[in-house]
Structure 1
Amino acid sequence: MADNTGSNSADIFIAKFSSYIDLSEQEQEVIEALTQNSMTVDEGQDIILESEKSSSAYLLQSGWAIRYKVVPDGGRQIISFLLPGDIFGFRESLFDLSDDSVQALTPIIVHRLPAEKIAEICDSFTNLSLALTWARAREHAILAEQIVRLGRRNAYERLGHLLLELLHRLQLVDKAGSSEYYLPLTQEILADTLGLSIVHVNRTLRKLRNDKMIELDPKTRRLRILNKEALSERTGYDQSFLDQLGDPSRSPQEAIGSD
């Protein structure tokens, strides 16, 4: 990891937190201060390791990362993808040992939040504390969809559902067009995510292309979803699990149900 000091845009995090709840000018300044120092992490480098202590959370400024576990036979299960604007390591910083690993899938830029800083923010800024809670709720919703994908969907539905989810998540942080985005995922990574063989992933991608559901340029890695409505119907995709969980118009007291 390389440490960088300088002016880093906090816009992506302010926009994301503000989608949950209104932030005061002071709270926005707190986020700006947190993003002044950044670390660049190379592709393939682990940031958090399973069964090791992690005393920090991270704000992901740019690039893609994966959360994963390794099983006894050496196989890898990718649990989720981490995208720009995401927070990770929050849970791990609260426990003695991490229960999974996080690795940079592409070169990434992150901002480190020591556990004691998180506690200070939660104690001093109610709205930021609530925004962190809602961010964790959205992460839980994403993990729930992954469980259903693996347990109750066939290969076609798993892959199509994931591609739609990634489109929607990237759109929420202005990193995708209406139907197109950069997809830095190899067939091996898709296989490790969806519990399929590489051969099965290859066959399923071909089926999606033949059905005129997607186009994927192998050189630029640009994915275009050609018929979102049809693919959503075929895969059972419902984007409501990613829709805004908070309501910026409510006060903190209303949000937590206080009298």
Structure 2
Amino acid sequence: MLWSAHRFNALATLSPREIARFQALGEAPVSHRKGARIRGQGDPVRGIYLMIDGWVASSLILANGARLIQKIHLAGDILGTPSMVLDRSADTLTALTDAVTAYVPEDRMGALLTSEPRLAAVFLMAVQVERLVLMDMLATKGHSSAVEQFAMFLLDLHARLTPLGLVHDDTFDLPLTQEAIGDVLGITSVHTNRTIRDLETQRLIERRGHAVRLLDPAALRRLAPLPERRLRPDPAWLPRAE
């Protein structure tokens, strides 16, 4: 099972050799059971992780014990990059479903950035995408309704799951508890339940078990508090491929 470079291919046209270099970064894939902690907040930092399969949450535990999920990771993501500048991990990585990751020691990442300056630039672009996501999250929390935030959350998942072949007829699996969704949006599980029912009543979504169908993606987009972010692939400043 290989790590998918599709998120990096969305930023730059990678050659087969470059994709192979990215995929060769990780050690042997490791399986994690649902609920397993991959790395805890405060653990020593010695590397990062390639996300191969499943769903993983990046979360912070505040001094008062509250949990805040910063990011839901899917296949093709790279986990733990914010902590690369720290001695100890800033967040906790938890498997929300059965998941598979591949560990990348720091020295391997450093060697790639030294030997492959173009891939280093693509990695920089990927980090900026993550920064943009956090900017949007900060902009909406406290300034948008729960319905608006949840609409944007569903559209983001739809966009990220589509390249993985996990969206069919605008339907995808959402294997998150209402508590976890509430942690992402910064609301209670009760408020989360009310928000989901509101979107169902408006005939914007439909649920069957864990499956969610977007009945009117265009209406959800109009409801979202921020415009769709369209990536600019192969920017002029990016070093040319060999």
Instruction: Tell me if TM exceeds 0.5.
Output: yes
Check conservation: 1:16, 1:173, Cα contact below 8 A.
no
2:88 aligned residue: 97
Indicate yes or no: 2:73 matched with 1:82. Answer: yes
Within the candidate set 91, 107, 110, 2:101 is matched to 110
1:113-152 paired onto structure 2 within 5 Å: 113-152=104-143
Root mean square deviation of aligned Cα: 2.1
- Greater shift, 221-230 or 29-38, is seen at 29-38
Within the candidate set 201, 219, 225, 2:214 is matched to 225
Q: CA deviation at 1:16?
A: 2.6
- Greater shift, 21-30 or 222-231, is seen at 21-30
In the alignment, structure 1 segments of 5+ residues that lack a partner are 1-7
- Greater shift, 77-86 or 31-40, is seen at 31-40
Indicate yes or no: 2:192 matched with 1:205. Answer: no
Within the candidate set 61, 68, 84, 2:59 is matched to 68
**Residues 178 and 147 (structure 1), Cα distance of their counterparts in 2 relative to 1, 3 Å cut:** farther
Give the paired residue count.
241
The separation in 2 between residues aligned to 1:25 and 1:230, in whole angstroms, is 39
TM-score, L = length of structure 2: 0.91
Give the 3-state SS of the residue equivalent to 2:94 in structure 1: strand
1:139-196 superposed Cα distances (whole Å, 9 cap, x missing partner): 1111112112212111111212211111112224433235221101111111111111
Q: CA deviation at 1:106?
A: 0.7
Within the candidate set 247, 254, 257, 2:234 is matched to 247
Question: Which amino acid is the alignment partner of residue 234 of structure 2?
Answer: D
1:118-155 superposed Cα distances (whole Å, 9 cap, x missing partner): 00000001221112111111111111121122121111
Give the 3-state SS of the residue equivalent to 2:102 in structure 1: strand
2:19 aligned residue: 28
- Greater shift, 34-43 or 84-93, is seen at 34-43
The separation in 2 between residues aligned to 1:172 and 1:133, in whole angstroms, is 21
Q: CA deviation at 1:29?
A: 2.6
**Residues 176 and 237 (structure 1), Cα distance of their counterparts in 2 relative to 1, 3 Å cut:** farther
In the alignment, structure 2 segments of 5+ residues that lack a partner are none
- Greater shift, 26-35 or 223-232, is seen at 26-35
Give the 3-state SS of the residue equivalent to 1:161 in structure 2: helix
The separation in 1 between residues aligned to 2:182 and 2:201, in whole angstroms, is 20
